[in-house]
Structure 1
């Protein structure tokens, strides 16, 4: 399970517990985030992010795995699928904010540039506030205290190091179309009109992959992890039949 902004394994802690009766679940703090090492301040490419995921699959996961990614984690998952298809048994990309697949005149294509500008002018607090304002449902439920503290410590790494990679993402449609494993695009039932859900529909259309509606909002795995885990279990079960 690959996390999005903030790169923290804690996003999926309860979902991982709920799925552990049927799956060996690996979550991790992405490089430079939370309890992980490797924070250098140098821009980090999506290829590097995918290589880190591949290394975990090659080691603890035994060389091949089903992969779930949310938000930026879905972008990393799609990059992993294109660059290292040999290590995947299936991919669920939940709400990748791939704004570059939206129509050229769509104002939401400017999301990453807007947040980057706010970071340049006002630092992580300004960028973080704007980011949170764009994510439906945030502020309506409580994050675990330890996860929230770690997330706040990761903001400069997110906006200063990881942001350009996410901003420039364009899916490799040829590689994804020819992937030798199932790919599912997904979004939450309450998110259909958002900049991070709409691209999932377009990517699914372009690569001929199924699109699945999950319950709730962008981070339903924090708001109602049992509900999200049940939906994820159903999709994973179909992938291993």
Structure 2
């Protein structure tokens, strides 16, 4: 069995949790920070497209799936998530790594780049859910939206909350085009539990984040803003990516699909990501 096919798993003790992680492939280290409720298996199809050229690392964020919280009563912050990613990278490599961050994973990547210099040489930040990137009035409105989703979830359950999440992120559940021959991930009890953690804990972490956008241009990590081809320009996550690009004086890279293009278009997404990472190393 080749290194591309071999799956290596492990756990890492961090403050307040034990992180489960998976490693596949060989070559330079590429960490994938997942979106939403996604755990280490969220982007299995994408990982399969990248493992011939990269050592691809995925993990369950603290509180999701196999990454149990050792103090469930303690709030989770974006600082915790960034510290977790930094400690995971430190345990796996002595060299700066590349990172693909999708949605919340991109927000974690931005904080990692600023507060843990030297851990990343390149961050591809796909549609970060980072209200602090936006002008004050717009930021306040979107923070309120996230807190409203939490209240809706508490009052009316996951189905209603997911409809509102889709609206906020510009996801059309009735038009989810995808590459052929993909098997949709089933909506298991584990995913339901992960959505609970995502909405109750991570939404609060997003709203409470104190990221300083002015720190990003000089942080020492090459940050590549990214957007989905099908994400409407006016929605929250696309606005965050566009503002990040403006801050960095660049244009966002367009990836196939929409907000979840990493799962709906793994082949095209991987091809674009390879080009971006190759260009970043020139």
TM superposition score normalised by structure 2:
0.77
Contact 2:35 2:104 in 1 (8 A): yes
Check 1:143–1:111 CA distance in 2 against 1; reply closer, same or farther (3 A cut). farther
Aligned pairs for 1:128-143 (under 5 A) are 128-135=162-169, 136-141=171-176, 143=184
Other-structure match for 2:185: 144
Check 1:143–1:132 CA distance in 2 against 1; reply closer, same or farther (3 A cut). farther
Q: CA–CA distance in 2 between the matches of 1:32 and 1:171?
A: 22
Please give the per-residue CA displacement for 1:106-148, whole angstroms capped at 9, x wherever unaligned.
4545321221221342344442332134441435456312x65
The structure 2 residue matched to 1:184, chosen from 224, 235, 240, is: 224
The structure 2 residue matched to 1:12, chosen from 24, 40, 43, is: 43
Other-structure match for 1:240: 281
Indicate the structure with greater strand content. Answer: 2
Please give the per-residue CA displacement for 1:80-124, whole angstroms capped at 9, x wherever unaligned.
011002111111110012234334444545321221221342344
Other-structure match for 2:111: 79
**What stretches of structure 2 of length at least 5 have no aligned partner?**
1-31, 177-182
Matched, 1:220 2:261: yes
Q: By how many angstroms is 1:2 displaced? A: 0.3
Secondary structure of residue in 2 paired with 1:90: strand
The structure 2 residue matched to 1:114, chosen from 148, 153, 173, is: 148
Count, aligned residues: 240
**What stretches of structure 1 of length at least 5 have no aligned partner?**
none
Bigger CA drift: 40-49 or 64-73? Answer: 40-49
User: Could you say what the CA RMSD is over the residues aligned between the two structures, in angstroms?
Assistant: 2.2
Other-structure match for 2:88: 56
Secondary structure of residue in 1 paired with 2:236: coil
Secondary structure of residue in 2 paired with 1:79: helix
Other-structure match for 1:168: 208
Q: CA–CA distance in 2 between the matches of 1:61 and 1:76?
A: 19
Q: CA–CA distance in 2 between the matches of 1:4 and 1:123?
A: 20
Q: CA–CA distance in 2 between the matches of 1:236 and 1:28?
A: 21
Q: CA–CA distance in 2 between the matches of 1:132 and 1:150?
A: 20
TM superposition score normalised by structure 1:
0.89
Contact 1:33 1:154 in 2 (8 A): yes
Larger Rg: 2
Q: CA–CA distance in 1 between the matches of 2:154 and 2:42?
A: 27
Secondary structure of residue in 2 paired with 1:177: coil
Q: CA–CA distance in 2 between the matches of 1:199 and 1:132?
A: 16
Please give the per-residue CA displacement for 1:210-241, whole angstroms capped at 9, x wherever unaligned.
42111220111211211111111111111223
Bigger CA drift: 65-74 or 179-188? Answer: 179-188
Indicate the structure with greater helix content. Answer: 1
Structure possessing the higher relative contact order (Cα contacts under 8 Å, 6 or more residues apart): 1
